[in-house]
Structure 1
Amino acid sequence: MTKHKMTRWLAPAALALCLAEGAAAQSADERYSDLDNPMTPADMQGASVLDVERYRPTYAIKGCAADFPDPADPNAELAEALAKAQAFSDEHKGLGLLVLHGGVPVHESYGEGASTASTSASASMMKSVIALLYGIAIHDGVIGSLDDPVGGYIAEWADDPRGAITLRQMLTMSSGLAPSDFMKIIFAPDIGAEAVKLEMVSEPGSEFSYNNAVTNLLTFALDRALAAKGKGGVLSYLESELWCPIGNGPARVWVDPGGKARGYAGMQATLRDWARIGELIRNRGRANGEQVVPASWIEAMATPSQANAQYGLHVWLGREYTPERAYSAGNPVKVPHSEPFAAQDIVYFDGFGGQRVYVLPSHELTVVRIGEVDLTYDDARIPNLLARAAD
């Protein structure tokens, strides 16, 4: 096990001071990088998940880095399970594995080229961050409710049948919208304008279909709602209402050439930052003695949706077993599940090819794993090894 000198969480007052100082020291324009040098198709070729500099442009999240908790040695049974989990991760191109038990780090290791300071291309794990922001925004009155029609927030659809799609249907990936064009969504100069072109192909709420552009539309809608309330936009809201209150450090968000957050992917953060987000869910929205996200929202996120019992509000769940987990009926990519999850209450973030945050509240476990894309990665293996040892 790789050990590191770690201390305690940053006090809430210090977090507030850090945020205020950061805002004064750095304007929004200065936080953008490479707006005139966006990612190209060539940049995608052969990219490692550690090659975050290829994902351009980006926006800098100042962060309010809290020190990480001191590690502890696991008991013999858990230590054996951790060794097996590490071996499995390594076999499937793993680059980092961090495990907290009861809020205490019991394992932290990194592969070649990675370290505690490394950020990675976490892919769709960003989607779950957008879901957390929606919970905060509803509590703040920025968003009315889950069942609001999206046309109330996206003016282009105000008088369009697509405007009747609810935020709930979008957050559960049952919008009824056509699959997005992967390359267009990545390389469009204005991804919001590109996303509103999606056509409706089925009855909203009737069919699960994982769709990057749907998360982009949710991000677009939240950005406009925040601006209308005089609260800046998604990027500043992410920093002030989620990232800093939980004590996360500096990070970057992949944006489009116009500076708008993509939402569906692109949070460049460390394993420890992702672990704090996982712990936020495990602790029902609390961090540093504060209720950062309403507990009722965490419960709602973890409730199986009508269209797919394996999916809640932009998070994956373990309530229903299938040997292969599908992103949609027409998507050929399937994620292997060798057995049912040992923890029925597992909530997890899925980043393409093996980027994961697993939260197992009943076993007091939070697990973060990153690695190069490997479509043979078995989603059940690591959480089940650890759940059985932590019983």
Structure 2
Amino acid sequence: MLQLFEKQHGFRRDSVSLENWRNRPFNTWAFRNIHEFIPTAEVPATDNGVEEPKVDETWLTSQEIPIGDRRISISAVLQETYADTLVVMKKGVVVAEFHAPGFTTRSRHILFSSSKSVTGMLAGILAGEGTLDPDEPIARHVPELATSAFGDAKVRHALDMRTSLVFNEDYSDPRGDFARYRRAGLLDPALDGEPVETVISFLASLKKAQRDHGGPFFYCSPNSDALGLVVERASGLRFADLLSQKLWQPLGARSNALVTVDREGTARAGGGLFVTARDFARLGELVRREGEVEGRRIIPSEWVRDTVNGGSRDAWTTGNFADWLPSGSYRNQWYQTGNEDGAFFALGIHGQWLFVNPRSEVVIVKFSSQPDPVDDRLKSLNMALFSAISSIV
């Protein structure tokens, strides 16, 4: 088996570890097989999850599109951006797709921070049911966080990344805040001599910065894990069960999802979801249709409209992401482009995208295995790709 694996992937299975799984060449395999080395909880889909046949990719990949001052084939863009898969949906129907070698319509892939946008939708569902008020204090639902930076923050602050936290989201620092956060979620190996932490204990240790909550947009992944705990406590369901019952099954997802968990079983609501591209596209179509699928209301339309239109420009322009998305804003764990099409999206490190263009009625999912967690040049290239595809399908 090890010899067959090495022949298929160019390295031995036992060479993949928590130390290197996000690095190339290992990440191409690891991002599709996260459940083999990190604990997960299952998110059941519907029992009749029949997936439609694959759509031929030739038409899509052979197209040439304008990118800046050059014309380039979509195939070349996919290669340049380390694409694992691309699914294009028009008016709810898959019209084009691409799969890298070894990837199929049933292959799952880690979403990283695109998971946050799913958590935001769960909050909207509970808000519509009256079991969650975004203006409530986080600590009302999660008293373990009462003495942390979250102690005087509202759920709304976490939803919009406007909490005041002392936290540095530096993906490259092996001894920094983010590395410690990953270790608490079992995504990185433990360090000798370091106290064992869980997601909850890590969140409870975070301190408030020298500013009020509700100020500038400040991207900080722990917000989303705090939000994951809030939706669990408000609903009385574990995150995976809540997602299955309130969203994944009503949506009509065809494949079971997974979510990574820590040693206590706490889900990584901010980055641990693991799904198929087509099911993620179905979620995007649900949001494009303002929370309704096949005549059934799943997410309140008011929540969806607020999500795609309600972000604060002042918070964004004074925040820490304004340079790469100058016209953008952020609301309920989703990005708004601010462009004339009203496009909005979910985004995860290493190139995980869910892009929705309401004007062209297009939803695009792209999963990737970029070498670097964050690459502004590739983000811009992907955005140009999505805009071009939206105009030709």
Q: Normalising by structure 2, what TM-score?
A: 0.76
What are the equivalent positions in structure 2 for 1:308-319 lying under 5 Å apart? 308=316, 309-319=328-338
CA contact (8 A) 2:27 2:369 kept: no
- Give the Cα–Cα distance (whole angstroms) in 2 for the partners of residues 350 and 52 of structure 1: 18
| Secondary structure in structure 2 of the residue aligned to 1:199 | coil
Aligned to 1:355: 352
Deviation at 1:252, TM superposition (A): 1.1
What are the equivalent positions in structure 2 for 1:158-237 lying under 5 Å apart? 158=146, 162-179=150-167, 181-188=177-184, 189-201=197-209, 202-227=211-236, 232-237=237-242
- Give the Cα–Cα distance (whole angstroms) in 1 for the partners of residues 22 and 123 of structure 2: 30
- Give the Cα–Cα distance (whole angstroms) in 2 for the partners of residues 161 and 104 of structure 1: 44
- Give the Cα–Cα distance (whole angstroms) in 1 for the partners of residues 289 and 303 of structure 2: 12
Q: Residue 263 of structure 2 aligns to which amino acid in structure 1?
A: P
> 2:144 aligned with 1:156, yes or no?
yes
Deviation at 1:84, TM superposition (A): 3.6
- Give the Cα–Cα distance (whole angstroms) in 1 for the partners of residues 370 and 61 of structure 2: 27
Deviation at 1:295, TM superposition (A): 0.6
Q: Could you tell which deviates more after superposition, 251-260 or 43-52?
A: 43-52
Of residues 60, 63, 66, the one that matches 1:80 is: 63
Aligned to 1:22: none
Sort the Cα spacing of 1:299 and 1:68 in 2 relative to 1 into closer, same or farther, 3 A: farther
1:197-248 per-position Cα deviation (integer Å, ceiling 9, x unaligned):
1111021111211111111111112212222xxxx22221110010000111
Of residues 356, 365, 368, the one that matches 2:365 is: 368
> 2:113 aligned with 1:124, yes or no?
yes
Q: Residue 62 of structure 1 aligns to which amino acid in structure 2?
A: P
1:145-184 per-position Cα deviation (integer Å, ceiling 9, x unaligned):
2222212112134477742211111111110112252122
Sort the Cα spacing of 1:298 and 1:234 in 2 relative to 1 into closer, same or farther, 3 A: same
Aligned to 1:7: none
Q: Percent identity?
A: 24
CA contact (8 A) 1:57 1:256 kept: yes
CA contact (8 A) 2:87 2:365 kept: yes
> 2:62 aligned with 1:59, yes or no?
no
**What are structure 2's unaligned runs of at least 5 residues?**
1-16, 66-71, 169-176, 185-196, 317-327
Aligned to 1:14: none
> 2:246 aligned with 1:241, yes or no?
yes
Sort the Cα spacing of 1:225 and 1:197 in 2 relative to 1 into closer, same or farther, 3 A: same
Aligned to 2:187: none
Q: Residue 293 of structure 2 aligns to which amino acid in structure 1?
A: A
Deviation at 1:119, TM superposition (A): 0.7
Q: Residue 359 of structure 1 aligns to which amino acid in structure 2?
A: V
Sort the Cα spacing of 1:158 and 1:191 in 2 relative to 1 into closer, same or farther, 3 A: closer
Aligned to 1:289: 295
Sort the Cα spacing of 1:245 and 1:108 in 2 relative to 1 into closer, same or farther, 3 A: same
Deviation at 1:386, TM superposition (A): 1.9
Of residues 311, 315, 319, the one that matches 1:304 is: 311
Aligned to 2:189: none
Sort the Cα spacing of 1:205 and 1:154 in 2 relative to 1 into closer, same or farther, 3 A: same
What are the equivalent positions in structure 2 for 1:256-275 lying under 5 Å apart? 256-275=262-281
Aligned to 2:8: none
- Give the Cα–Cα distance (whole angstroms) in 2 for the partners of residues 79 and 287 of structure 1: 32
Of residues 16, 35, 41, the one that matches 2:19 is: 41
Deviation at 1:73, TM superposition (A): 8.8
1:337-360 per-position Cα deviation (integer Å, ceiling 9, x unaligned):
xxxx5x531110101121101011
1:303-333 per-position Cα deviation (integer Å, ceiling 9, x unaligned):
22341142121011111xxxxxxxxxxxxxx
1:10-39 per-position Cα deviation (integer Å, ceiling 9, x unaligned):
xxxxxxxxxxxxxxxxxxxxxxxxxxxxx8
- Give the Cα–Cα distance (whole angstroms) in 2 for the partners of residues 77 and 221 of structure 1: 42
> 2:262 aligned with 1:252, yes or no?
no
Sort the Cα spacing of 1:171 and 1:55 in 2 relative to 1 into closer, same or farther, 3 A: farther
Sort the Cα spacing of 1:116 and 1:78 in 2 relative to 1 into closer, same or farther, 3 A: closer
Q: Residue 315 of structure 2 aligns to which amino acid in structure 1?
A: A
- Give the Cα–Cα distance (whole angstroms) in 1 for the partners of residues 39 and 119 of structure 2: 19
- Give the Cα–Cα distance (whole angstroms) in 2 for the partners of residues 277 and 247 of structure 1: 9
Deviation at 1:113, TM superposition (A): 2.0
Aligned residues: 324
Deviation at 1:41, TM superposition (A): 3.4
Q: Could you tell which deviates more after superposition, 378-387 or 112-121?
A: 378-387
CA contact (8 A) 1:226 1:234 kept: no
Aligned to 1:9: none
- Give the Cα–Cα distance (whole angstroms) in 1 for the partners of residues 100 and 363 of structure 2: 20
CA contact (8 A) 2:44 2:244 kept: yes
Q: Could you tell which deviates more after superposition, 183-192 or 267-276?
A: 183-192
Sort the Cα spacing of 1:78 and 1:139 in 2 relative to 1 into closer, same or farther, 3 A: same
- Give the Cα–Cα distance (whole angstroms) in 2 for the partners of residues 42 and 87 of structure 1: 27
Deviation at 1:78, TM superposition (A): 11
